[in-house]
């Protein structure tokens, strides 16, 4: 039965009003109240103990008071570099690259330490946006698990060696090896490729094998056939009116999400409601991907039906007669209708597919060609090199290894034992390879099987270049001298190749090599600069350089084979997907990313089996095997059995389940090892490469309950409604409070009779006019209510000077989570670990609430970034007994940590639930070991290590245990921006103050500024009639404005 819910909901527990959820929603803190009697009953002691404690206390206090203040040193430079002013940050343009992941960045350094990643506005590709992965990359520089120098295998462990020694060993090995294979992930660096070519020229029996952890091989092969070039075109999502994506998570993880998100959001923002127009996005998938959650319509097809779904659309658009059997009727009907729409918007549509089947990709290409999209929404004149993997090559290489014909294997920036589809075979047969050399920075599953480690620099210590698209270059420059005795992999290859182009006696040999490469290459292709030095300086300063695009190859039709994904009759199918934070395990060693909640399932620290939700429409659930959140089940895929926790996922197709890739690593440092389960060995193998699903999956009934269910979905909820047990009426059940009905009796009740809380407003683009009127009425009503209250507003107080405010465009927000990681990085927000997350103790200042609305079985999704709203009539401020949180004249809700005594009244009184309490010593600011939680049994707690602490922002206080913290609107940036304006003696500009979340956002959803600045960008945004204030009716006078979420859902496709 179809059930349409008018309002938003958070998840299953919200819809069913499950008791434990309703109980926690009432309270700010999930903890069970411990009564004083309970506390004292556990204490055993007598008068003697009391005297002992008293004596110790007095003694300790006396000693502490009598201690001399420690002598602090101020150590200046011997020769101070001109460009460094202690206390002032320097920014260097560089590029974040990890395999095919790419993001031009500015690296913020303080006193020579990189501490923050910002987007590079000059990049024509990303336009200054970043991803969570790029934001977190600075933390991996200070990873305590990094190799400290060259190593040789010594039993199960490693022994130190020197580079000279290592070079000697390797060169002997190289001379004596018959077949040499160099396995890498996508490599976009022209100069690194040049180095590899030098290597393969010197050793003709060497071959480079490239693969991607999540394969795009079929797409590349199809393009090779149709366009004669094995590359990926530039997709112009901004130019498309209709976007059809077959399982391609282009906003989260597919090829170039930062670029695509920026382009996509352009077609989704509504600037003028009278001329509201937005692209229509249809996602064909079985599990709720990040991209699917942003789509207007999702067409549910099982993973095994993806092939026929593409074929059906192909038939409808091109008029071909590929046989289509096994596609569900609903999808078939919807696709037929979409085909008609696509044809009517010829040249303004875009069809993409993540399929790893060449024939399906050829059909997609044929569809795009037939629709006239090439040259319009798809540009082949600037092909992208962000995916270069070739499954066939890898397969051949694995076969060779299995046959024992490879003598030397070099693994450079790849971890095929874990993340390739042939991982298990490789692991079993690597012993047949005589010598194995890894360039890994941190030990991983592949490196663990190697004999020699020649550790590479981190990208923030490296020189390098990137040709992300044809003619679009970025440079990588070091921002810190190497922390350890590592050597750039390219240099190692050049040294072993005995290259004449590299002079190892130089201080930075690879830098010279790179410059030489640019001098002979890119310098010749430009005419702006006459000398190389000026050209080089300019590119290094900007970080990016474009030499202009070439011509587009024309489409040549190719024969489409009949081998496409075959629909299966299996009862349960499972799909495997890449998440926005873990990728395929490349980032699992990074604590920030590990703790970041997946935007859709909102789980962290582990991969959860997403099972479909069955809702009977009357608040009861009949789910798959009656499973609910946090249940443990036995999942069997083929022959592999594993125990996984379950999360109920709206929008997950019935008859399918899904689970994320990238977990269950065994060698990923302290953070990433043994978290979740590895499903890379469960992929379905096609003729050449893997497909990311499996049809032989069975899910058992509940076998247990997960101890630490770390899903932040139901933490910190706002606007929850419930039924009052006494009156039976629907009430606002968000937070219980002690209400005094008369002078003597305090009764637990719920504040406010308003059940219709304005958390989210939604509209379909076709109904926009009416919905905006509705919104305005609601706002007027709220303002009317507010006017009845005695609070005067004091608006005149904020009219002087600055009045800081923020605008969040929910139509641009795709929920990617870059802002949440940027916030952690900027504000020294601690990582707390799985157990603490399960206890609602995550410390994120900025969370992204995910809400569903509409069709229960196939809902639409809204992402709402929620941070301190800096209310001008803030409920938290009134209840602080020590005035630790109070209001500034600039409209900031200030938090003085050293004044806070930790009563947590403020958090209890916050309607948005954005205040976080340091239950334990997460940042290791105090010295009692018992207060220091471990993330993963590590010997030194994360953040207690001096290396890790180098990432801290010196302008932001590191909070101790027992205090409340929350979003400060990046007050350190506000103060810095104001000072810049003051020293220059001019008015403050928008560009002076930009918060960390704002600069990280790939789609420009967040605008921060001075509400008093009538000419500022924020003021323009505040004019939109789509704007509303969350919980406006409670008169807290929030400084954050959201926009109504508008979708373009085509209801006829649901029929």
Partner 1 sequence: MIYKHLKIKSIATILFMWMTLTLSAAVSADAGKELFKNNCAACHSKDMRSAATGPALGGSQARWADDVALYKWIRNSQAMIQSGHPRSVELWNQYKPTVMTAFPKLTDDEIGSLLAYVNGVYDGTYGPKKDVAAGAGAAVKTEEKSQLPLYLIIAAVLAVLALLLTKIISNLNQIAAAKDGEYVEAKTISQILTSKGVVTFLIFAAIILGAYTTVNKATELGRQEGYAPDQPIKFSHATHAGVNKIDCQYCHDSARRSKHSSIPGTNTCMNCHAAIKNGSAYGTAEITKIYASIGYDPATNKYIENYESKTEDEIKAIYTKWIGDEYKRVKEKADLDSEGERIVSTQWADIKKSLTNDRKKQIQGPIEWVKIHNLPDHVYFNHAQHVTVGKLECQTCHGKVEGMEVLKQMSPLSMGWCINCHRQTEVKFKDNAYYANYTRYHEELASGKRDKVTVADIGGLECAKCHY
Residue with Cβ nearer partner 1 (88 or 787): 88
* Minimum gap (Å) between residue 972 Cβ and partner 1: 5
- For tokens 């049994």, the residue is 937
Contact 656/649 with Cβ under 8 angstroms?
A: no
Residue with Cβ nearer partner 1 (51 or 979): 979
Contact 648/714 with Cβ under 8 angstroms?
A: no
Residue with Cβ nearer partner 1 (900 or 1046): 900
165/357 Cα distance (integer angstroms): 46
Bridge partners of 207?
A: 181
* Minimum gap (Å) between residue 932 Cβ and partner 1: 18
Residue with Cβ nearer partner 1 (425 or 955): 955
* Minimum gap (Å) between residue 975 Cβ and partner 1: 7
* Minimum gap (Å) between residue 87 Cβ and partner 1: 4
* Minimum gap (Å) between residue 899 Cβ and partner 1: 8
Residue with Cβ nearer partner 1 (79 or 622): 79
Q: Which helix H or strand E contains 732, and what residues bound it?
A: strand 730-732
Residue with Cβ nearer partner 1 (568 or 888): 888
Interface contacts to partner 1, rule CB under 8 A? 65, 69, 71-80, 85-88, 799-802, 886, 888-890, 892, 894-899, 955-958, 968, 971-972, 975, 978-979, 981-983, 985-988, 1012-1013
Contact 710/603 with Cβ under 8 angstroms?
A: yes
3-state secondary structure labels for all residues of 319-343? CCCCCCCCCCHHHHHHHHHHHHHHH
* Minimum gap (Å) between residue 966 Cβ and partner 1: 12
- For tokens 């976009």, the residue is 188
Residue with Cβ nearer partner 1 (322 or 956): 956
- For tokens 């993997």, the residue is 389
- In this structure, are strands 464-469 and 472-476 parallel, antiparallel, or unpaired? antiparallel
* Minimum gap (Å) between residue 64 Cβ and partner 1: 8
- In this structure, are strands 378-384 and 280-285 parallel, antiparallel, or unpaired? unpaired
Residue with Cβ nearer partner 1 (813 or 829): 829
Residue with Cβ nearer partner 1 (348 or 899): 899
- How many other C-beta atoms can be found within 10 angstroms of the C-beta atom of residue 623? 17
Contact 866/1031 with Cβ under 8 angstroms?
A: no
Comparing CA positions, the residue from 306, 304, 309, 279 lying closest to residue 294 is 279
1049/767 Cα distance (integer angstroms): 11
1000/996 Cα distance (integer angstroms): 6
- In this structure, are strands 1006-1010 and 804-808 parallel, antiparallel, or unpaired? antiparallel
**CB neighbours of 311 closer than 8 A, spacing ≥ 6?**
322, 323, 324, 360, 363, 564
* Minimum gap (Å) between residue 944 Cβ and partner 1: 16
831/934 Cα distance (integer angstroms): 10
What's the angle, vertex CA 608, arms to CA 606 and CA 611, rounded to 5? 175
The backbone torsions φ and ψ at residue 758, rounded to the nearest 5 degrees and listed phi first, read -90, 85
Comparing CA positions, the residue from 291, 251, 296 lying closest to residue 278 is 296
* Minimum gap (Å) between residue 1014 Cβ and partner 1: 10
* Minimum gap (Å) between residue 225 Cβ and partner 1: 58
Comparing CA positions, the residue from 291, 320, 296 lying closest to residue 310 is 320
Residue with Cβ nearer partner 1 (80 or 769): 80
Residue with Cβ nearer partner 1 (614 or 888): 888
* Minimum gap (Å) between residue 88 Cβ and partner 1: 5
Q: What value does the CA radius of gyration of the chain take, rounded to a whole number of Å?
A: 29
For 756, the token pair is 């219709």
* Minimum gap (Å) between residue 83 Cβ and partner 1: 12
* Minimum gap (Å) between residue 895 Cβ and partner 1: 8
614/938 Cα distance (integer angstroms): 41
Residue with Cβ nearer partner 1 (755 or 888): 888
Residue with Cβ nearer partner 1 (649 or 948): 948
Residue with Cβ nearer partner 1 (705 or 986): 986
995/1015 Cα distance (integer angstroms): 19
Residue with Cβ nearer partner 1 (894 or 908): 894
* Minimum gap (Å) between residue 105 Cβ and partner 1: 24
* Minimum gap (Å) between residue 889 Cβ and partner 1: 4
What's the angle, vertex CA 237, arms to CA 232 and CA 238, rounded to 5? 140
Quote the crossing angle between the two packed helices 190-202 and 509-520, to the nearest 10°. Answer: 100
Three-state DSSP state, 757: coil
Residue with Cβ nearer partner 1 (40 or 983): 983
134/95 Cα distance (integer angstroms): 9
377/245 Cα distance (integer angstroms): 14
Contact 828/952 with Cβ under 8 angstroms?
A: yes
What's the angle, vertex CA 28, arms to CA 25 and CA 33, rounded to 5? 100
Contact 423/77 with Cβ under 8 angstroms?
A: no
* Minimum gap (Å) between residue 887 Cβ and partner 1: 8
Residue with Cβ nearer partner 1 (80 or 566): 80
* Minimum gap (Å) between residue 1027 Cβ and partner 1: 23
287/652 Cα distance (integer angstroms): 5
């Amino acid at each position: 039965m179809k059930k349409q819910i008018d309002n938003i909901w958070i998840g299953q527990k919200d819809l069913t009003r499950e008791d434990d959820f309703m109980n926690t929603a009432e309270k700010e803190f999930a903890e069970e109240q411990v009564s004083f009697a309970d506390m004292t009953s556990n204490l055993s002691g007598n008068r003697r103990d009391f005297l002992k404690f008293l004596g110790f206390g007095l003694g300790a206090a006396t000693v502490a008071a009598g201690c001399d203040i420690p002598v602090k040193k101020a150590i200046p430079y011997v020769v101070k570099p001109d460009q460094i002013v202690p206390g002032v940050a320097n920014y260097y343009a560089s590029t974040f690259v990890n395999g095919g992941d790419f993001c031009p960045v500015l690296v913020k350094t303080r006193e020579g330490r990189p501490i923050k990643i910002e987007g590079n506005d000059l990049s024509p590709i990303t336009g200054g946006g970043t991803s969570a992965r790029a934001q977190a990359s600075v933390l991996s520089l200070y990873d305590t698990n990094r190799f400290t120098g060259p190593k040789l295998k010594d039993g199960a462990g490693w022994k130190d060696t020197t580079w000279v020694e290592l070079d000697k060993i390797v060169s002997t090995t190289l001379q004596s090896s018959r077949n040499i294979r160099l396995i890498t992930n996508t490599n976009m660096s022209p100069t690194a490729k040049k180095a590899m070519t030098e290597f393969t020229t010197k050793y003709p029996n060497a071959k480079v094998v490239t693969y991607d952890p999540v394969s795009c091989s079929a797409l590349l092969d199809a393009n090779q056939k149709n366009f004669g070039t094995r590359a990926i075109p530039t997709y112009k999502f901004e130019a498309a009116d209709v976007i059809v994506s077959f399982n391609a998570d282009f906003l989260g993880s597919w090829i170039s999400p930062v670029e695509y998100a920026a382009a996509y959001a352009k077609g989704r923002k509504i600037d003028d409601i009278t001329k509201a127009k937005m692209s229509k996005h249809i996602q064909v998938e079985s599990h709720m991907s990040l991209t699917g959650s942003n789509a207007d319509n999702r067409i549910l097809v099982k993973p095994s039906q993806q092939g026929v779904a593409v074929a059906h659309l192909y038939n409808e658009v091109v008029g071909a007669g590929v046989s289509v059997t096994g596609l569900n009727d609903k999808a078939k009907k919807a696709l037929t209708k979409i085909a008609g729409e696509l044809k009517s918007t010829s040249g303004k549509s875009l069809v993409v597919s993540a399929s790893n089947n060449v024939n399906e990709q050829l059909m997609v290409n044929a569809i795009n060609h037939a629709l006239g999209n090439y040259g319009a929404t798809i540009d082949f004149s600037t092909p992208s090199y962000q995916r270069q993997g070739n499954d066939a090559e890898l397969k051949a290489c694995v076969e060779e290894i299995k046959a024992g014909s490879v003598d030397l294997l070099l693994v450079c920036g790849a971890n095929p034992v874990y993340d390739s589809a042939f991982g298990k075979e490789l692991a079993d047969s690597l012993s047949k390879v005589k010598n194995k050399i890894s360039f890994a920075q941190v030990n991983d599953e592949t490196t663990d099987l190697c004999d020699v480690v020649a550790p590479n620099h981190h990208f923030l210590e490296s020189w390098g270049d990137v040709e992300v698209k044809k003619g679009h270059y970025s440079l990588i420059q070091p921002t810190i001298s190497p922390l350890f005795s590592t050597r750039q992999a390219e240099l190692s290859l050049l040294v072993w190749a005995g290259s004449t182009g590299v002079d190892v006696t130089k201080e930075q040999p690879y830098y010279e090599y790179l410059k030489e490469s640019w001098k002979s290459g890119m310098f010749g292709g430009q005419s702006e600069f006459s000398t190389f030095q000026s050209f080089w300086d300019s590119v290094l300063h900007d970080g990016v350089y474009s030499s202009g695009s070439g011509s587009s190859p024309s489409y040549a039709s190719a024969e489409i084979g009949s081998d496409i994904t075959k629909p299966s009759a299996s009862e349960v199918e499972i799909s495997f997907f890449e998440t926005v934070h873990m990728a395929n395990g490349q980032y699992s060693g990074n604590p920030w990313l590990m703790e970041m909640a997946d935007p859709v399932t909102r789980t962290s620290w582990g991969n959860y089996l997403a099972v479909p939700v069955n809702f009977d429409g009357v608040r009861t659930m009949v789910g798959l095997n009656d499973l609910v959140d946090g249940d443990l089940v036995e999942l069997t895929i083929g022959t592999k059995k594993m125990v996984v926790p379950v999360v109920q996922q709206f929008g997950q197709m019935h008859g399918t389940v899904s689970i994320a890739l990238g977990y269950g690593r065994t060698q990923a440092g302290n953070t990433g090892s043994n978290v979740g389960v590895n499903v890379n060995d469960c992929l379905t193998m096609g003729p050449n490469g893997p497909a990311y699903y499996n049809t032989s999956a069975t899910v058992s009934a509940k076998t247990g309950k997960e101890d630490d269910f770390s899903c932040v979905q139901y933490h910190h909820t706002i606007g929850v409604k419930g039924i009052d047990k006494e009156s039976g009426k629907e009430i606002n059940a968000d937070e219980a409070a002690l209400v005094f009905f008369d002078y003597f009796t305090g009764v637990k009740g719920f504040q406010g009779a308003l059940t219709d809380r304005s958390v989210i407003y939604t509209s379909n683009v076709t109904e926009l006019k009416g919905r905006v009127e509705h919104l305005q009425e609601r706002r007027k009503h709220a303002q009317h209510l507010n006017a009845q209250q005695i609070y005067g507003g004091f608006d005149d107080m904020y009219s002087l000077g600055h009045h800081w405010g923020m605008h969040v465009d929910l139509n641009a927000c795709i929920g990617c989570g870059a802002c949440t990681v940027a916030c952690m990085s900027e504000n020294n927000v601690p990582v707390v670990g799985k157990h603490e997350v399960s206890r609602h103790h995550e410390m994120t200042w900025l969370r992204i609430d995910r809400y569903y609305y509409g069709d229960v079985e196939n809902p639409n999704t809204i992402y709402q970034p929620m941070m301190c709203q800096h209310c001008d009539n803030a409920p938290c401020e009134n209840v602080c007994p020590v005035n630790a949180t109070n209001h500034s004249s600039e409209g900031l809700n200030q938090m003085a940590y050293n004044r806070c005594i930790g009563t947590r009244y403020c958090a209890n009184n916050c309607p948005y639930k954005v205040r976080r309490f340091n239950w334990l010593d997460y940042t290791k600011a105090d010295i009692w070991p018992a207060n220091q939680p471990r993330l993963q049994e590590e010997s030194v707690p994360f953040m207690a290590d001096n290396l890790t602490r180098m990432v801290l922002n010196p302008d932001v206080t590191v909070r101790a245990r027992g205090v409340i913290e929350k979003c400060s609107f990046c007050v350190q940036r506000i103060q810095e921006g104001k000072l810049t304006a003051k020293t220059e003696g001019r008015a403050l500009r928008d560009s002076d103050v930009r918060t960390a979340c704002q600069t990280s956002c790939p789609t420009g959803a967040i605008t921060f500024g001075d509400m008093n600045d009538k000419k500022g960008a924020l003021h323009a945004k505040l004019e939109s009639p789509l704007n509303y204030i969350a919980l406006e009716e409670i008169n807290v006078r929030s400084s954050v404005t959201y926009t109504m979420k508008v979708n373009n859902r085509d209801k006829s496709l649901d029929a």
